[in-house]
Each structure stands twice: as C-alpha cells, then as structure tokens.
Structure 1
Amino acid sequence: MSEQPSGGEPQGGNELAGRFFDAAIGMLRRVRDEEAEEIAAAGTLVADVVAAGGRLFAFGAGHSSLAAQDMVYRAGGLALMNLLAVPGVVGVDVMPATLGSALERVDGLAGAVLDCSPLRSGDLLVIISLSGRNALPVEMATSARARGVKVIGVTSVAYASETGSRHASGTYLKDHCDIVLDSKIAVGDATLTLDAIPAPFAPASTVVTTALLQAVMATAAGVLSDRGVEPPLLRSGNVDGGHDWNARVMREYGDRIFYRQG
C-alpha cells in the first residue's frame, strides 16, 4: 500500500492520481515478473482445452466479475470464453448490493449453479476471487474439479495468511485449483492512505486482475498459433469486416459459445 509522504503535507488531486498510477504500475510489474511461469502455464492450459474441443468459462462474484466479463465477447479475445453467471452475484446490479456479498457465503450454491450449467468434463473454468475465502468460490472450484473441469484460480494469496476462511473446510480458492495466479493485491485492496482520510482508498484489483487474465489469453493465442491452430479470436464490430469475421467464428464454434441465441 502506498503511504503518505513524511511530513503529512496536503496532497492535491493530481498528486494522488499520480500515486495511484505509480502503485498500479508497480503491482503490474510485480505480477509480470513474479507470475511469469504461472501465466505461461495457464495460457498453455487454455490452449490445450481449446485444441481438445473443450469450452472456456469464467466466474467472478461482485467486482471480481468485472475481470471475468472483460474476457467474454471481447474484441481481440477468444470467442470461446463464456461467462458463468450466478444470479444476484455477478456485478452490483442486484438490490440491495449487499445481497451479492451475502450470497457468496451461502453453502451449496456453487453446486446448484454447476448442475444447471453447460460445464462438462474437459472444459476449463477461470474462477476470480480477490480474497478466495468465501464459500462460493471455494465450492465452485471443488465442484468443478469433481466434474472433470480444469480450474484456474485468480486470487490474492495474501488473504490466506492474513484472514480466516469462511468455508467449513477452512480452505481457500487457492487450495483447489489446477493453476493459481496470485494477483499480489494487499488485503483490503486499497492502495493509498492519507492522514486526513480515515480509511484507505483507491483499489487496484480490477486493473491488475484484468491485465493478468489478458496476459493469459494472449499467451493462449500464441501457443495455439505455434501449434498451427488459428486462435478463435473475435474482432471489433466497429471496424470494417468485423461483423462478418465474428459471424464466421461463431458459426464455426457455435457449439462452444453460450452467450448468443441460436
């Protein structure tokens, strides 16, 4: 966490903005350097599943869902990535917003969701949870793996040593994944403090987690290309020919895409 400079001098808005950018850039560099092997492994696993005919899914609760949604139906992204949505949990559109946080702690919800989902053995599920301590992401990982689904977990490993698990097993998301990507986000998420402000502020988990996962997707595209397989990528619909390109990809991979009708 970036601390206030010594002396406690007033901080202008521009200076605080600069401190936030510096903090975010520092975390991105740390993830790039310290998670390089895991990013390569995760990208290779994604490519393996695509090449073998499997499907790709991503799940995150609350703000963790933003990074999951960023991979779905995205220009420059893999067309096969689907959002695994849990009603009341994805995003903060549910009212009251606190309901989403409460649902993350409900035992058994993950199994019910997977029972009604199209996931099957041989697929891959990316589970994003900053803390990894709640029942929903833990059970999502264990239930998915029990069904023969490969799991990539994206979490801050620091939470496992600084907070208690909210799952009956006492375990965390990181304990139930084929590959774990550590976002390195400090417990509490916020990056800045100021003597005049009683709470830390300026969270960066969305910035870092989104970049981390896009690095994995870039790696997967490269691995597929190296194997002589054209990555099933989408193009922007706002460039000439983009819609025709995407229509072709969706026809070719229609049985592995679940965010479209028909």
Structure 2
Amino acid sequence: MREEPTDASEPAGRFFDAAIGLLARVRDEEAKSIAAAGALVADTVAAGGRLFAFGAGHSSLAAQDLVYRAGGLALMNLLAVPGVVGVDVVPATLGSALERVEGLAGAVLDTSPLRSGDLLVVISLSGRNALPVEMAMTARARGVRIIGVTSVAYASETTSRHASGTYLKDHCDLVLDSKIAVGDAELALDGVPAPFAPASTVVTTALLQAVMATAAGTLAERGIDPPLLRSGNVDGGLEWNDRIMREYGDRIFYRHA
C-alpha cells in the first residue's frame, strides 16, 4: 500500500500550538512576577534611574527588541558586549565561546554607564554560562537591580559553567521563567534526526513586552507620563521622539556616538 505523503503544513501548525501554549503558561504562571517586574521598572524610572538590557547570542534578540522601538520605553538601553550581540561575528561560534569566559562581565561593567540605582535586565535561556551569571552577580553587587529572564528548568537539568556552580536565577532581584524546555526545540518528527523549531525568542520577547506594558501602566497610575517612543513612520512621530530624547537625554545612551 502506498503511504500518504506527510502534510508539509503540519509542523507549522504544531509549532504555533506549542508557542501559543507556552505563551499561555507564561501569562498565567508568571503573572505575579510580571507585575512585580513591571513595578520595579516603574520604580527605577520614577527614581531617576536608567534601564539596561543584556543578552548574549540569540538571547540578545530579546534585549534588542526593548531598545529604541515604537511603543517602547525610551530609557531602555542595550548593554552590548562585542562579539556576543548576534551572529554577525565570524566565526559565529566565537560568540558562544565568549559566553563562557570568566571575568569578561566585570570588564564590560567597568566601562559601561551602569551605576547604583539603575536596573539591568539579563536574558539567558540556560542561565548557566559565565557571562550572564557574572553580569548579574557583579552588577547586583554594585547596587544595580537585576531582572533575570531564563528557563529555570536548566538549573535542575544541566550543570553550571561558572566556577561558583550557580546560575543566572541565583543572582537576581526578580526572575521571569520562560518555561522553555531544555534544548529549546518544540518539535520532533519521524525522518528528522534532531528536535527542531525553537520558541525561546517568541516567548522571551512577549514576556518582556508584557513587563514593559505593566511598567507603562504603573507609571500612568502614579501620575507619571511614561517616556514612550512613537513610530517614526506616523505623522508627528519624529517630533514626539525628538522631544522625549531631549527631555530624557541624560538617561538615553544609544543616541550618543
């Protein structure tokens, strides 16, 4: 009997179902943490602090999604580490290697504008590598508040790559659990030799935008206009953004050469 061909659209549907399921879990199970993280962002803004986000490799995509974008908080700055921001470095494996270098985070923080009273979002799916662990640990010791975004499952199913044996989650004021399974691959299929279809970027990005939305709402409840950017592609958007940049210029670092 001739076998019916596999429906090529089936994996797409299964991936959407998996991603939607993860988003629903994060919405429901992380609701209190999202609210607390949004309040912490709002507290920092209201107190005159600055906001930063860091992620290495593909985790950097979620950090970059928060920076200089329409509908986002203008005060969010990218804490960039050369060589680990994305796959633009060649060979791309160098970025992964740099994540495992101890001491790099301290050098980055020594030359960054981060100071006590600021807030740093550290994003690392596994939370096991030296760079995100030390970034959170060192910044927190300097009086910076830390929101960690990670998959907590990695801490029980993998070994730490930091000398302390700790993970990102161990050095945060607040932890947001993305619920991503170890390996970051949602699908398996006969004939495909490895798990595939990662969902961490979709879920982590949504999780952080929920935090920023909460922060904006919290600021408004306190009678503070949240410093939001508008799209430069709508009428009046550029003028709006120019005003925000002038008003909050001392807390915005991506506009300086």
Classify the TM-score, shorter chain. over 0.9
State the secondary structure of the residue aligned to 2:215: helix
The structure 2 residue matched to 1:117, chosen from 97, 112, 136, is 112
User: Paired residues, what number?
Assistant: 255
Asked whether 1:25 is paired with 2:37, we answer no
Task: Provide TM-score, normalisation by structure 1.
Answer: 0.96
Match of 1:69 in 2: 64
Regions of 4+ moved over 6 Å = none
Deviations 1:64-107 (A, max 9, x none): 00000000001000000000000000011000000000000000
Give the AA of the match of 1:177.
C
The structure 1 residue matched to 2:87, chosen from 81, 92, 96, is 92
Runs of 5+ unmatched residues, structure 2? none
**What CA distance in whole angstroms lies between the structure 2 residues aligned with 1:9 and 1:44?**
54
The structure 2 residue matched to 1:34, chosen from 18, 29, 37, is 29
Runs of 5+ unmatched residues, structure 1? 1-7
Q: Identity of paired residues, percent?
A: 85
Match of 2:186 in 1: 191
Match of 2:100 in 1: 105
Give the AA of the match of 2:102.
D
**What CA distance in whole angstroms lies between the structure 2 residues aligned with 1:194 and 1:31?**
26
State the secondary structure of the residue aligned to 2:196: strand
**What CA distance in whole angstroms lies between the structure 2 residues aligned with 1:112 and 1:10?**
55
After TM superposition, give the deviation of residue 140 of structure 1 in Å.
0.2
Task: Provide TM-score, normalisation by structure 2.
Answer: 0.98
Change in 2 beyond 3 A, CA 1:80/1:12: same
Asked whether 1:144 is paired with 2:139, we answer yes
After TM superposition, give the deviation of residue 39 of structure 1 in Å.
0.2
After TM superposition, give the deviation of residue 125 of structure 1 in Å.
0.1
Asked whether 1:79 is paired with 2:82, we answer no
**What CA distance in whole angstroms lies between the structure 1 residues aligned with 2:62 and 2:169?**
17
Match of 1:4 in 2: none
After TM superposition, give the deviation of residue 13 of structure 1 in Å.
2.1
**What CA distance in whole angstroms lies between the structure 2 residues aligned with 1:246 and 1:40?**
27
The structure 2 residue matched to 1:178, chosen from 173, 178, 193, is 173
**What CA distance in whole angstroms lies between the structure 1 residues aligned with 2:104 and 2:250?**
26
Asked whether 1:223 is paired with 2:218, we answer yes
**What CA distance in whole angstroms lies between the structure 2 residues aligned with 1:180 and 1:195?**
36
Change in 2 beyond 3 A, CA 1:86/1:196: same
**What CA distance in whole angstroms lies between the structure 2 residues aligned with 1:169 and 1:214?**
31
Change in 2 beyond 3 A, CA 1:177/1:23: same
State the secondary structure of the residue aligned to 2:9: helix
After TM superposition, give the deviation of residue 195 of structure 1 in Å.
1.7
**What CA distance in whole angstroms lies between the structure 2 residues aligned with 1:15 and 1:24?**
14
Match of 1:156 in 2: 151
